[in-house]
Amino acid sequence: MTTDQIILFSLFGGVFIFLLWGRWRYDLVAFTALMLGVVLGVVETKDAFAGFGHSATLVVALVLVVSAGLVRSGAVFLITRTLVDSARSLGAHITLMGAVGGILSAFMNNVAALALLMPVDIQTARKAGRAPSLSLMPLSFATILGGMVTLIGTPPNIIIASIRQDNLGEPFRMFDFAPVGGVTAIAGLIFVALIGWRLIPQKADASTSGDPMDDYAEYIAELVVPDGSKLIGKRLRELNEDAEKADVAILGLIQDGQRRYGSGQNRKLNAGDALVLEATPDALDEFRSALSLQFADDKRENIVRAESDGLSVIEVVVTDQSRINGKTAQAIGLTWRQQAVLMGISREGKPIKAHVRKTEVHAGDILLLLVAPENANDVAEWLGCLPLADRGLVVTEDKKVWLAIGFFAAAVAAASFGLIYLPVALGLVVVAFVLAKIIPISEIYDHISWPVVVLLGSMIPLGQALEQSGGTELIAGSLVSLTEGMPAWAILTILMVVTMSLSDVLNNTATAIVAAPIGIQMAQSLGVNPDPFLMAVAVAASCAFLTPIGHKNNTLILGPGGYSFGDYWRMGLPLEILVVAVSIPAILLFWPL
């Protein structure tokens, strides 16, 4: 073993020890290891920051932005309304989402499948009042498992198909991976749905990590039925089911200038009617998006939209010195003076009997305002109100939902069939989202989890240095010597275990490139068919469940799920054992030696 190999193996060992310890944040640990690698000479200075421009790092950053765009466009609400029920038990939810994720990832890149479903899962967890960490990891694992079924589901399958063509003259076809990958994926999904999610450590603050504003988050608000709405002619009570799905309470109706309560339930809706609602800002936006309602009448909403490319929602507290204290939004000319609309008022559960914009505002009220993003601070300052901390409230651009889905679907299809490189495809989606005003350019960088980017950008050069130093070849040589004289099934098992271990440290693409030739070499030394060995590498390279750095999907959920580095192995280790136990017999059955 050379000095460089000793240093690199020591650095990797140190990284894992400190990450499992959890005293310091994962990005600091990884970056420190990278800097030590440069200082000690095992990572060349010119390659020190190459990981930050690596495709894996870019994919993770771009996927987070694309996911935010899908949320902003209403695509996520569309899926949650038709597919997900927040009242469903956690086990049933994980089963449903895992099945959908597995199927999607078989026919599209598994990173893209997670990008589509991750915000859906987070929204559902928020509505159900549970921590996203309980369901995000099962969803990630499910999309990884589903990707093993087809050629295009995961990059290692494509790489192994090309290596087979180079060495054996013919590549694997689209569904050659299906018999082994399908059986393994089904077994893995059953484990994840029934047992695996129960092994995820619950954070000490999981039950209390809600929004501190929850006690004050219910607003009395109004939404307007626009001209040409599909709701015209329906009775108000017919909207109760949609309201319940969005966690919105319909209090009454303002029709012909009069506010109607109990009798309003039987009234038919007309254009211009205002629904009086009690809801949180997120629920209010979901309900508005689902039924294509307006924030205000056409005149006032157009005034706000004319000021900016997008819309934003802010919350402010009224003080004794506020301009609006003791007055109404209409009286101070909030819309025509500041191009803002008063959407709702929170008054500690006290009823509001007048039209919201005609309601006299008191000190201590919390106002929900619709503003142009760049005017938010100016509006709060002009009102003399105290802005509350940003809770990430957004305005869904529901009129662009199919446009956003079209951009995303076209990019995924083009990348899946090799027409365009996946990072480029995702980059084009981001550009399209900005140009179509689906997501404001000022918010793009807010959606990227920078600690995750630093983690990947730091670990990739170390993994490449290990490969270039001959560390992986050292592992390969040791593997061949270790398995000499063993039966074929034992050799396949050891190959899978070693490949999985490599995939947990390197990314799965690099692992496939390193391990596939090793598999062919082992088959040739035994004088048997190399296809079972290539299949073993394909399954093992994809099944990186022990760490957040082995697979991009696991990295994606690290920030949103609030996981620590050591959380993954609790469900990942038994899942990897199950994968080996199921796939070895399947390989020997479908790909005889």
Range 312-340 burial, b when 16+ CB lie within 10 A, else e: bbbbbbbeeebebbeebbeebebbeebbb
* Number of Cβ within a 10 Å radius of residue 391: 16
Q: Which helix (H) or strand (E) holds 98?
A: helix 90-107
Question: Where is the domain boundary, 390, 409, 429?
Answer: 390
Judge if 474 and 584 occupy the same domain.
Answer: yes
Give 16: exposed, middle or buried? Use CB within 10 Å, 0-12, 13-18, 19+.
Answer: middle
Q: Is 250 helix (H, G, I), strand (E, B) or coil?
A: strand
DSSP 298-357: HHHHHHHHTT-SS-EEEEEE--TT-TTTTS-TTTTTHHHHHS-EEEEEE-TT----S-GG
576/583 Cα distance (integer angstroms): 10
Same domain, 575 and 533: yes
Last residue of a domain, one of 336, 365, 390: 390
pLDDT in tens, 16-75: 788 667 678 878 888 999 999 999 999 999 989 988 887 767 877 887 788 778 877 877
Domain co-membership, 268 together with 290: yes
Domain count, the chain: 3
Q: What CA–CA distance (Å, rounded) separates 313 from 283? A: 13
pLDDT on residue 210: 46
Residue 181 lies in a domain: no
| 289 & 311 share domain | no
Residue 303 tokens, joined: 């005034």
Instruction: Name which of 19, 105, 24, 22 is nearest 459 in CA terms.
Output: 19
Provide the pairing of β-strand 219-224 with 341-346. antiparallel
Q: Is residue 197 part of a domain?
A: no
- pLDDT at residue 207, as a whole number: 39
> Residue 429 in contact with residue 66, Cβ under 8 Å?
yes
Please tell me the predicted confidence (pLDDT) of residue 309.
Answer: 58
Residue 203: per-residue pLDDT: 61
Same domain, 274 and 317: no
CB 259 within 8 A of CB 139: no
Q: Give yes or no for a contact between 347 and 219, defined as CB atoms under 8 angstroms apart.
A: no
Q: Is residue 186 part of a domain?
A: no
CA atoms of 314 and 304, how far apart (whole Å): 14
Residues 489 and 583 occupy one common structural domain: yes
Give the type of residue at 362.
H
In a domain, 372, yes or no: yes
pLDDT in single tens digits along all 593 residues of the chain: 889 989 988 998 888 788 667 678 878 888 999 999 999 999 999 989 988 887 767 877 887 788 778 877 877 677 766 766 777 888 899 999 999 888 888 876 777 788 778 888 887 888 788 888 999 999 999 999 998 888 767 778 877 887 788 778 888 887 889 899 999 999 999 999 999 999 988 764 443 344 444 445 578 888 888 888 899 999 888 888 888 877 788 888 888 777 766 556 788 888 888 888 888 887 888 788 888 888 776 666 666 666 555 677 888 889 988 999 999 988 999 888 888 888 888 876 566 766 788 889 988 888 988 887 778 888 999 999 988 866 656 666 667 888 988 998 898 788 777 788 778 888 999 999 999 888 888 778 887 878 878 877 887 788 778 878 887 677 767 777 787 778 878 888 999 998 898 888 766 776 777 778 778 877 877 788 889 999 999 999 888 898 887 788 888 898 888 888 888 999 999 999 999 999 999 999 999 88
C-beta of residue 220 within 8 angstroms of C-beta of residue 347: yes
586 in the same domain as 471: yes
Round to whole Å and give the CA distance between 430 and 433.
Answer: 5
477 and 572 housed in the same domain: yes
Place of tokens 């901390």: 389
- What distance in Å separates the CA atoms of residue 540 and residue 500, rounded to the nearest whole number? 5
Single-letter residue type at 71: V
Pairing of strands 366-371, 341-346: antiparallel
What pLDDT sits at residue 442?
78
> How far apart are alpha carbons 359 and 345 in whole angstroms?
9
572 domain residue, yes or no:
yes
Please indicate, yes or no, whether residues 513 and 574 belong to a single structural domain of this protein.
Answer: yes
> Could you tell me the CA-to-CA distances from 433 to 62, 157, 428 in Å, in that order?
12, 30, 9
Rounded distance between C-alpha atoms, residue 388 and residue 134, angstroms:
29
Contacts 24+ apart (CB under 8 A), 558-562: 558/26, 558/449, 558/452, 558/455, 559/449, 559/451, 559/452, 560/118, 560/122, 560/132, 560/136, 560/449, 561/132, 561/133, 561/136, 561/137, 562/131, 562/132, 562/133, 562/203, 562/209
CB 157 within 8 A of CB 144: no
- Which of 53, 160, 64, 148 minimizes the C-alpha distance to 112? 64
Q: What is the CATH number of the domain that holds 376?
A: 3.30.70.1450
Q: Please give the helix or strand (H or E) that residue 459 lies within, else none.
A: helix 450-468
Q: How far apart are CA 182 and CA 582, in angstroms?
A: 11
DSSP for 447-458 reads GS-HHHHHHHHH
- Rounded Cα distance between 262 and 6, Å, is 77
pLDDT tens, position by position, 268-317: 888 888 888 888 887 888 788 888 888 776 666 666 666 555 677 888 88
- Residues facing residue 369 across a β-bridge: 314, 342
Nearest alpha carbon to residue 458 among 9, 18, 26, 155: 26
- The number of beta carbons lying within 10 Å of the beta carbon of residue 425 is 24
Let me know if residue 560 belongs to a domain.
yes
**Residue 314's domain spans which residues?**
305-390
Boundary-marking domain end, from 272, 294, 316: 294
Output the average pLDDT for the chain: 82
Q: Are 339 and 366 contained in the same domain?
A: yes
Query: Please, how many CA atoms are within 13 Å of residue 450, restricted to the half-sphere of its CB?
Result: 4
Has residue 507 been placed in a domain? Answer: yes
At residue 538, the 3 state secondary structure works out as: helix
Kindly state whether residues 284 and 349 are assigned to the same domain: no
Q: Please, are residues 552 and 60 in contact by the beta-carbon 8 Å criterion?
A: yes
Q: 233: which strand partners?
A: none
Question: How much helix, strand and coil, in percent to the nearest 5, is found in the chain?
Answer: 60, 10, 30
Q: Nearest Cα to 346, choosing from 511, 220, 237?
A: 220
Residues 259 and 335 in one domain: no
Q: Is residue 163 part of a domain?
A: no
